[in-house]
C-alpha cells in the first residue's frame, strides 16, 4: 500500500482508539516514511482497557490478542498494536519503529559493551543488569554514543 493510504488508515484508527489511551503513536515503516508500508504498527498505552478492547474488536478480525501485542486484520491490512506502559514507551517505540537493520545495529553496539537493548521495551541495560537508558529514544542513542536519528533516517 502507498504511504499516504497507510497514514490515512493509521490516523483513522488512532482517532478511534485515542479516547481509551493515555498515549498512542504510529510506529514502523509509516513512522519512517517508507514509500510502501506492508502493515500498520502502533504503540499505545491504554487508559480504559474495557472500552479499548471493545473498540479493538470493532476494527476488524482479531488474529492475535495478548497483553503486549494485538494483531487485527482490517480487510487485507495487518494492524500490529504494541501495548506499552510509561517505563516501556520510548524503547518500545524505538524498537517497533525499526528498521530491522537499525535495531540490529543498536543491539550489536550494546552487546559489544556487554549491555542489552530489550526488544520488550524495558530499556537499555548495562552488564550489571541495571537500566541505564530508555526514558526517551534519544537517551538510548546517547548511552550508546551515537547521534540521535529521526525515524525517517533509520531506513
Domain co-membership, 70 together with 111 = no
Q: Containing domain of residue 114, as a range?
A: 89-153
Q: What is the pLDDT of residue 66?
A: 77
Boundary-marking domain end, from 83, 110, 130: 83
> Which pLDDT value is given to residue 31?
98
Cell of 36: 510502501
- 53 and 110: one domain? no
**What pLDDT sits at residue 33?**
97
**26 bridge partner residues:** 42
For the domain that residue 140 is a member of, what is the CATH number?
3.30.210.10
Shared domain check, 97 and 70? no
Same-domain pairing of 72 and 133: no
Residues 106, 140: contact at Cβ < 8 Å? yes
Count: domains in the chain: 2
DSSP string, the chain: --HHHHHHHHHHHHHHHGGGEEEEEE-HHHHTT-SS-SSEEEEEEES-HHHHHHHHHHHSEEEEE-SSEEEEEETTEEEEEEE--TTTHHHHHHHHH--HHHHHHHHHHHHHTT-EEETTTTEEE-TTS-EEE-SSHHHHHHHTT-----GGG--
Per-residue model confidence as pLDDT tens for the chain (155 residues): 899 999 999 999 999 999 999 999 999 999 999 999 999 999 999 999 999 999 988 999 888 877 899 999 999 999 999 999 999 999 999 999 999 999 999 999 999 999 999 999 999 999 999 999 999 999 999 999 999 999 999 98
Same domain, 77 and 96: no
Asked whether residue 14 falls in the same domain as residue 33, the answer is yes
Asked which of 33, 48, 83 is the last residue of a domain, the reply is 83
10 and 47, same domain (yes or no): yes
83, 100, 121: which is the final residue of a domain? Answer: 83
Same-domain pairing of 106 and 76: no
Amino acid at each position: 500500500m502507498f504511504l499516504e493510504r497507510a497514514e490515512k488508515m493509521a490516523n483513522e484508527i488512532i482517532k478511534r482508539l485515542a479516547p481509551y489511551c493515555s498515549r498512542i503513536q504510529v510506529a514502523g515503516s509509516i513512522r519512517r516514511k517508507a514509500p510502501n508500508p506492508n502493515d500498520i504498527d502502533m504503540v499505545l498505552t491504554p487508559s480504559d482497557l474495557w472500552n479499548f478492547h471493545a473498540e479493538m474488536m470493532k476494527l476488524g478480525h482479531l488474529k492475535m490478542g495478548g497483553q503486549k501485542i494485538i494483531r487485527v486484520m482490517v480487510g487485507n491490512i495487518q494492524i500490529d498494536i504494541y501495548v506499552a506502559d510509561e517505563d516501556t514507551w520510548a524503547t518500545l517505540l524505538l524498537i517497533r519503529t525499526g528498521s530491522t537493520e537499525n535495531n540490529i545495529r543498536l543491539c550489536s553496539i550494546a552487546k559489544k559493551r556487554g549491555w542489552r537493548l530489550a526488544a520488550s521495551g524495558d530499556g537499555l541495560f548495562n552488564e550489571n543488569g541495571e537500566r541505564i537508558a530508555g526514558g526517551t529514544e534519544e537517551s538510548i542513542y546517547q548511552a550508546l554514543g551515537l547521534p540521535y536519528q529521526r525515524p525517517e533516517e533509520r531506513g
